[in-house]
Amino acid sequence: MNKISCFAVTVALTASLIGCSTNEDRIPSLCESFSDYFPVGVMINRSIVRSMNDTVFVKKHYNSLTSEEEMLPEIMHPRKNRFRWRVADEVVAFAQRNNMKVRGNALIRYDRMPDWMCFDGERITSKDSLFSRMKTHIDSIMTRYKGKIYCWDVVSNAVADDTTIILRQNTWLYQIAGDEYVEQAFRCAHEADSTALLFYNDYNLNRPDKLERTCQMLQRLIDKGVHIDGVGMQGHWSLYEPTREQLETAIARFRSMGLQVHITQLDVSLYKWEPARRTMRRREVTVYDEEKKTAQSAQYQMIFDVLCKNSDVVTNVTFWGLDDRNSWLNNYPVRGRKNFPLLFDTYRCPKQVFFKLVDDAKGVHGGPVEN
C-alpha cells in the first residue's frame, strides 16, 4: 500500500471514530433500553478490563459481565495447588464498582481441563480422585466469589454433537466417570454456594435433536434431586438459524422443566455454522452489503422479539464481544474470513439494527412479561 493510500485509510478511520465519539450522548444505553426485560451483558477479558476506552463503553451499554476465558479450569487452576486469581479478581472488582452482575464461565468444561485433574503422571486417574479434585476446584473458586458472582455455568458443552448419544464420550471426564461427572459438578457447586444460580451451558440448543438430548440429561438430574436453576443457550447464531419456531420451542421446553434461560454468548454470524476449522476457499469473499445487513437486522429483531416476550424465563442476554473489529468470529472457523456479527461495527459505531432493537424495546413489546 502506498503512502497516499495509507493516509486515506488513516483519515477515514479517524473520521469514523470521531463521528461516533461526537454523537455518543445521542446513543441510548443498550442495557437501560432493556431494563424492563432482562440484564444485558457482554464478554469481558484482560485487555478490556484494563482499557479505559473499553471500560467506558462497557459501563454505558452493559450491566452484566461474563469472563471470556479467565475463569476456565485450565487457566484459573492450572496446577493442583496453584490458582490464577488476578484477572478474575479484576473483573469482579470492576463489576462491583459499577453495580454489575457477573456470570461465572465455567467451572467444568471437557476441553479446558488441566492435566492434573484427570491424570496421575501419565496414567489416567480414578473416579474417586477426579471427584475429590473437582470438589476442591469448585469449592475454592465459588467460596472466593460467593456473593459476588451470582450465577455459574457449572458444566459447559457436555452434550455430544453425535445424535446417537447424549454426552460426549471421547473426553477424559467421561472416560473416568461416565455421566456421573455432570451430577457431581452440580452437587459440589450447590454445596459450595447455595445462593448462586447454577446453569448448564451449551451451543446449538435451538436444534431439535440437541435440544431433546439436553433435556433428557437435565431431566434425569432433576429427577435425582440435583439442583439446577437454568440453561445457558450459547447464542452463536447466524442469518440462517435459529428460526422463530426453534427459539420459541426451546424456551418453552425449558420453561416446562422449571428452568430459567440465559442467552450466554450472543452474536449473529453472516455465515452458516461449520463444525471444523478451515482456510478460505478460492473465490470465497466476505461481503457485508445491504442485503446481508437487512437479513441480519431481521434476525436480531426476531430473536429479541422472542426473548422479550418470554422475559419471565429469559433472565439474562449476553453478547460475545464489544464490536465487529474484535469478534472471535474473525478468522474462526475460517482462517482469513472477516465477520460482522455484533451490534457495533468495526469502528464501534452502533449499526442501524442497534437503534431498531432499542425502538422495539420501547414501543413494540408492550412491557415485560409478569412473573
pLDDT in tens, 114-168: 999 999 999 999 999 999 999 999 999 999 999 999 999 999 999 999 999 999 9
How far is the C-alpha of 36 from the C-alpha of 360, rounded, in Å?
12
pLDDT tens profile 39-92? 999 999 999 999 999 999 999 999 999 999 999 999 999 999 999 999 999 999
As beta bridge partners, residue 314 has: 261
pLDDT at residue 366 above 90? Answer: no
pLDDT tens profile 215-254? 999 999 999 999 999 999 999 999 999 999 999 999 999 9
* pLDDT score recorded for residue 245: 98
- CA-nearest of 190, 106, 199 to 146 is 190
* pLDDT score recorded for residue 25: 78
Domain ranges of the chain: 32-272+284-363
Cell of 356: 431498531
Sort strands 101-109 and 151-156 into parallel, antiparallel or unpaired: parallel
> What are the C-alpha distances in Å from 327 to residues 156, 321, 330, 350?
21, 5, 6, 15
Average pLDDT of the chain, as a whole number: 92
125 backbone dihedrals φ, ψ, rounded to 5°: -80, 175
**Quick one: pLDDT band at residue 24, thresholds 50, 70, 90?**
confident
Alpha helix stretches (DSSP H) within the chain:
3-22, 30-33, 46-49, 52-61, 73-76, 86-97, 115-118, 127-144, 172-177, 180-192, 208-223, 244-256, 290-309, 352-363
**Quick one: pLDDT band at residue 362, thresholds 50, 70, 90?**
confident
CB 327 within 8 A of CB 317: no
Determine which of 4-18, 89-103, 230-244, 296-310 has the lowest per-residue pLDDT on average: 4-18
pLDDT at residue 194 above 80? Answer: yes
* pLDDT score recorded for residue 21: 53
* pLDDT score recorded for residue 23: 72
- CA-nearest of 148, 229, 149, 138 to 191 is 138
- Overall average pLDDT of the 30-45 stretch: 97
Burial class (CB in 10 A: 0-12, 13-18, 19+), 123: exposed
The larger pLDDT score, comparing residue 317 to residue 336, is at 317
- CA-nearest of 77, 213, 229 to 158 is 213
> What are the C-alpha distances in Å from 130 to residues 79, 115, 198?
14, 11, 21
As beta bridge partners, residue 319 has: 42, 266
* pLDDT score recorded for residue 19: 44
- Overall average pLDDT of the 187-196 stretch: 98
* pLDDT score recorded for residue 120: 96
* pLDDT score recorded for residue 163: 95
SS3 per-residue string spanning 99-166? CCEEEEEEEEEHHHCCHHHHEECCEECCHHHHHHHHHHHHHHHHHHCCCCCCEEEEEECCECCCCCCC
DSSP assignment letter at 324: G
* pLDDT score recorded for residue 20: 67
Neighbours of 153 (CB within 10 A): 28
Neighbours of 322 (CB within 10 A): 23
pLDDT at residue 332 above 90? Answer: yes
**Quick one: pLDDT band at residue 15, thresholds 50, 70, 90?**
very low
Instruction: Look at residue 308 and give its three-state secondary structure.
Output: helix
DSSP assignment letter at 281: P
How far is the C-alpha of 361 from the C-alpha of 354, rounded, in Å?
11
pLDDT at residue 27 above 80? Answer: yes
Cell of 30: 443498550
pLDDT at residue 11 above 50? Answer: no
* pLDDT score recorded for residue 363: 77
pLDDT tens profile 248-301? 999 999 999 999 999 999 999 999 999 899 999 888 888 899 999 999 999 999
Backbone conformation region of residue 146, classed left if phi is above 0, alpha if psi is from -120 to 50, else beta: beta
CATH topology assigned to domain 32-272+284-363 = TIM Barrel (3.20.20)
